[in-house]
Chains A and B, each alone.
Chain A
Amino acid sequence: MKYSSQAVAKPYFIFALALLAGEILFGLLMATQYLFGDFLFPLIPFNVLRMVHTNLLIVLILFGFMGATYYLIPEESERELWSPWLAKVTFWVFAVAGVVTILGYLLVPYATLAEITFNTLLPTMGREFLEQPTIIKIGIVFVVLSYILNVTMTVIKGRKTVITTVLLTGLFGLAFFFLFAFYLPENLVMDKLFWWFVVHLWVEATWELILGALLAFVLIKVSGIDREHIDKWLYLIIAMTLVSGLVGTGHHFYFMGAPEYWLWLGSISSAVEPLPFFLMILFAYTVTKQRKIQYDNKMALTWAKGTAVMGFLGAGVWGFMHTLAPVNFYTHGTQLTAAHGHLSFYGAYIMIIFTIISYAMPILRGRPKGNCAKAQKVELSAFWLMNIGMMGLTLALTVAGVMQIIQQRTGVNPLGFMEVQATIAPVYYTRIAFGLMVFIGLITYFTSFFIKEEKAK
């Protein structure tokens, strides 16, 4: 650790991982309720399980991004963080707000939560992923602003690099587009249009900038390659991200009341969306081939390559599968969407957080050469358990989606939704099994933190 203020990243990483455990656990509960409708009902209805599952995901990624930023910004800027104190306060405010929100979902009916948090004053609740009470959303704005202030001040006062510029651009975009969460018109179609400004422009534009910057940082560190070379890759990746991802928002506008031109505009531009992820694979593997040092912490590079590959599969391949309007006409709102959602969030965003944690955590814990060989071996098994588990559950959901489309949306005598779901049951069992594998993988990953250093002889 070159700068002592980098240590503020540690609680962010630990909390992100704890939330991830909760997220997967709630995923398993949902998967069970999918098959046994009486499981946990009426104690925790499906919509509540789902809110907890998806909100934990979003919050844990934000914690991961924050931890990653606080770790890398001092090193990139070659100075201490502008205010380590503010970063610590931000952590606690965000953590408490997150826990309170989750408890609110679990302890009172959602309509009551809306009432006691005065949703009528400024209604923002009840939309997918934006379920948080308005007051919590306002809190998130303040947390993000204090975070951006801290990062910006550090960058301004220190060395400016391409990585920090790209990262800051992503963060400002993240903050700006979140403001659309406060716009809730009476017209459902307008509501949907601007809802995507938060959701799509986060995950398929601004977050990808952050992802690119984090990946570039770790690859510089583990390869020893000249920064000029890395910068060029980063620019190309984010150029393709913006060129495809902005107009690519149109792939959500096909069937929600927006004009027809989105059918072809959305198809053309989102067909390019796999490209930035493909470039990430080329990037990671080229850097590996040309690396100038043998970095002792091998797992950091393994996770970085994994991010590129799984991100490409989840966001690129599984996204392309149903992004063209004539295909999406049949796949829209089926289990195929869920399949894509799971693998892309995992491949791109959960794995980049594993990458940065795997790189930074040993250093933060006073192990500059990485964890011992035994710990790395355990971490490698965790890597494969989680990757294979995620791949398996994605394939299961893909099969479920195809079965759903064929039975419910094609042919002369289509079956009803509930009948079709009953026929998919065996596939949903497979999904639980692979979900369990992911959870076991995460536990294995946790145990790798507790393996003691071998004593030097």
Chain B
Amino acid sequence: MIERITKSMAKNIYLGGGLFALLIFTGLTFDTVQQIPKRSNDDKITPSVAAGKNLWEVNNCVGCHTILGEGAYYAPELGNVFQRRGGSDEAGFKEYMKGWMAAQPMSEPNRRKMPQFNLSDKEVDSISDFLIWTSKVNANQWPPNIEG
């Protein structure tokens, strides 16, 4: 089959196909950007949620954990940790998080270790707010179950 295609035909497939795909992708990106605020509850991004996201970044949390399935696979998924560890109770989750962050690293020999990040209570609350916000993103029913 390939023998029958000439070089100029191949070139046209490349230019036409490439341009067509690029246009579709650009158009869909615009639509996606329009839909994301509603699907992610953009209006619920408080200064604390934004501060929590920044702390998530500057401590490189994604270097061990996944969030909505993206990141490293060394430590648990945190997109739904609010439901898993906090039972969807905000005050309870924040208390749990303070206890958890203070207890790191745990002493159990050769368990995978989480470093001690020396964050203040307010900072840990921000991270909790960020994770609570993340857990409410409409991610098409992912993950399959509470274990993430």
Using CB atoms and an 8 Å cutoff, list the residues of chain A in contact with chain B: 33-39, 41-42, 45-48, 50-51, 110-111, 114-115, 119, 123, 125-128, 131, 184, 186-193, 228, 231-233, 235-236, 238-240, 242-243, 245-247, 249-250, 253-263, 265, 269, 282, 286, 329-330, 332-335, 337-338, 408-410, 414-418, 421
Q: Is the CB of B74 within 8 A of A46?
A: yes
B119-142 toward A: CB 8 Å interface, digit per residue (1/0)? 000000000001001100111101
In order of increasing CB-CB distance, the 5 nearest A-B pairs are: A47-B63, A126-B57, A333-B69, A255-B142, A235-B10
Given A235-B13, A256-B68: A189 and B40 interface contact (C-beta under 8 Å): yes
Contacts of A188 in B (CB 8 A): 40, 53, 67-68, 130, 133-134, 137
Roughly how many angstroms separate A111 CA and B60 CA in the complex, as a whole number? 8
Q: Is the CB of B18 within 8 A of A243?
A: yes
Contacts of B2 in A (CB 8 A): 232-233, 236, 282, 286
Roughly how many angstroms separate A282 CA and B72 CA in the complex, as a whole number? 35
Contacts of A38 in B (CB 8 A): 109-110, 113
Contacts of A193 in B (CB 8 A): 29, 32-33, 36
Contacts of B103 in A (CB 8 A): none
Using CB atoms and an 8 Å cutoff, list the residues of chain B in contact with chain A: 2, 5-7, 10-11, 13-14, 17-18, 20-22, 24-25, 28-29, 31-33, 35-37, 39-40, 42, 45, 49-50, 53-54, 56-64, 66-77, 105, 109-113, 115-117, 130, 133-134, 137-140, 142-148
Given A188-B137, A255-B69: A110 and B62 interface contact (C-beta under 8 Å): no
19 other A-B residue contacts (CB within 8 Å) besides A110-B59, A246-B21: A42-B105, A46-B112, A114-B58, A126-B58, A187-B45, A191-B53, A193-B36, A231-B10, A232-B2, A239-B18, A242-B18, A246-B24, A247-B24, A250-B28, A257-B39, A258-B35, A282-B2, A338-B73, A417-B76
Contacts of B53 in A (CB 8 A): 186, 188, 191
Q: Is the CB of A128 within 8 A of B72?
A: yes
Roughly how many angstroms separate A239 CA and B13 CA in the complex, as a whole number? 6
Shortest distance from the beta carbon of A213 to any chain B beta carbon, whole Å: 13
Q: Is the CB of B73 within 8 A of A257?
A: no
Contacts of A37 in B (CB 8 A): 110-113
Contacts of B17 in A (CB 8 A): 239-240, 242-243
Roughly how many angstroms separate A41 CA and B31 CA in the complex, as a whole number? 45
Contacts of B143 in A (CB 8 A): 255, 332, 409
Roughly how many angstroms separate A186 CA and B36 CA in the complex, as a whole number? 12
Q: Which residue of A lies closest to B10 (CB)?
A: A235
12 contacts between A and B (CB under 8 A): A34-B112, A37-B111, A186-B50, A188-B137, A193-B36, A232-B10, A235-B13, A250-B28, A256-B69, A329-B142, A333-B70, A337-B73
Roughly how many angstroms separate A188 CA and B37 CA in the complex, as a whole number? 11
With beta carbons under 8 angstroms apart, the residue of B18, B39, B70 that contacts A128 is: B70
Q: Is the CB of A410 within 8 A of B144?
A: yes
Q: Is the CB of A332 within 8 A of B69?
A: yes
Q: Is the CB of A110 within 8 A of B60?
A: yes
Roughly how many angstroms separate A287 CA and B39 CA in the complex, as a whole number? 50
